[in-house]
Structure 1
Amino acid sequence: MNEENLRKLSAEKAMEYIKNNSVIGLGAGRTISCLIELLSKAIDENNLKVKVVTPSDNTKSMCIKNGIEVLPTCFVEEVDVAFDGCGEVDENFYASKGGGGVFVKEKLIASMAKDYILLIDEQKYKKQLSVGYPISLEVVKDSLSYVSKRVKNLGGEPLVRTTNSKDGYLVTDDNNFILDIKFDTVDDFKELNDKLYDIVGVVGTSIFTREVTKLIMATENGVRVISKN
């Protein structure tokens, strides 16, 4: 089964968790794009009523083009179900994100959601998270040197993220910097995540240790759902 068909099957399975008159969270990626198409079709053909919150500008634009109402996250207290992708997720339901640079807002929506479901392929499902992906931190600008020093004390190698679209460091929508931290080994990702959050100036990390409730995983044999409980 090719990747496109697997993405469509994953999106179709995700639709089973979306109820009428609900607020849903959407991340970004090709499977999310498939889900948006299915949502638009259900709105047109079945009179499905949903509203969306998203940290992604691309997803927001796609929703608007498909006639799906997008709410400002700051006016939403709770999300019924949220869907996203990740770099890796393991058997503990710890997930590694951060590539898009909006992981703090992704984690906010994940925390608001009653159900936070990752749409993945089986290559991203690991026994334990690896150190193949850097751990990203969003940090207050004034804390950059201090946080970098503390990170080095924890065994990490920090690198400030830059962008090709402008000269200098990447600046988030909230006017912060992003540090990408490379670790040679990590024995306990939850413990490390807690230590990183203890550093004053760290707004958030790209490691999700509590939020994920389900995985919709595309495999060569179809789609499999794995629940945390």
Structure 2
Amino acid sequence: MNEEELRKLCAEKALEYIKDGSVIGLGAGRNISCLIELLSKTIEKNNLKVRVVTPSDNTKNSCIKNGIEVLPICFVEEVDVAFDGCGEVDENFYASKGGGGVFTKEKLIASMAKDYILLIDEQKYKKQLSVIYPISLEVVKDSLAYVSKMVRNLGGEPIVRTSNNKDGYLVTDDNNFILDIKFNVVEDFKKLNDDLNDIVGVVGTSLFIREVTKLMMATEDGVKVISKN
């Protein structure tokens, strides 16, 4: 099967977890785009009532275009099920994200969700997270120099993320900066996540240590669902 067929299989499996009346969380990426298309058809066919929260402008616009109601995150207390992608995830259900720069809000939605499910292909499933991808931090602007210093004390090499759309540093929707940190070796990702979160000025990290409950993995043999518990 090609990537598109695997993506569709994964999205079809995800639909089984979406019930009438649900509030669902959606991240971003090609798997989520495929899920939106199938969800729109299912809503129309079965007259379902489904509402979405998302940190992604692209996902929000796609939902609206496909006739799916989108709610502001700030008005939602709980999410029935949330779906997202990732850079990597390991056997401990530790996931690395951050490429899109909205990981703080992604983590908020993940924490609000009764079930937080990652849609992945089997190449992203590792025995243990690697250091291939930088670990990203959203930081308060005034803390930039201080956080950078503390990150270097932890063995990281911080780089402030810039934007292709304008001159200067990228600024998040909440008016913060993003630091992308390269580590050569990480022995304990949970401890590192705790250490980074303890730095004053850090709003959030791109490491998801507690949030993931299930993995929905597309393989050549079909879709495999792996539950944390």
TM-score of the two chains, using structure 1 as the length reference: 0.99
Match of 1:122 in 2: 122
Structure 1 counterpart SS, 2:158: strand
Match of 1:62 in 2: 62
Match of 1:217 in 2: 217
Counterpart CA distance in 2 for 1:31 and 1:179 is 26
Give the ranges of 4+ consecutive aligned residues of structure 1 lying more than 6 Å apart after TM superposition.
none
TM-score of the two chains, using structure 2 as the length reference: 0.99
Counterpart CA distance in 2 for 1:86 and 1:164 is 22
Instruction: Mark the runs of 5 or more structure 2 residues left unpaired by the alignment.
Output: none
Instruction: Mark the runs of 5 or more structure 1 residues left unpaired by the alignment.
Output: none
Counterpart CA distance in 2 for 1:94 and 1:85 is 13
Q: CA deviation at 1:42?
A: 1.1
Match of 2:89 in 1: 89
Q: CA deviation at 1:124?
A: 0.2
Per-residue deviation, residues 92-146 of structure 1 (Å, max 9, x unmatched): 0000000000000000000000000000000000000000000000000000000
Amino acid at match of 1:133: Y
Amino acid at match of 1:74: C
Counterpart CA distance in 1 for 2:42 and 2:8 is 15
Match of 1:34 in 2: 34
Structure 2 counterpart SS, 1:185: coil
Counterpart CA distance in 2 for 1:200 and 1:25 is 29
Counterpart CA distance in 2 for 1:197 and 1:62 is 33
The aligned length equals 229
Cα RMSD for the two superposed structures: 0.4
Amino acid at match of 1:25: G
Counterpart CA distance in 2 for 1:58 and 1:106 is 14
User: Percent same amino acid among aligned pairs?
Assistant: 86
Alignment of 1:186-225 (within 5 A): 186-225=186-225
Counterpart CA distance in 1 for 2:221 and 2:21 is 33
Amino acid at match of 1:223: V
Counterpart CA distance in 1 for 2:212 and 2:59 is 20
Structure 2 counterpart SS, 1:142: helix
Per-residue deviation, residues 62-98 of structure 1 (Å, max 9, x unmatched): 0001100000000000000000000000000000000
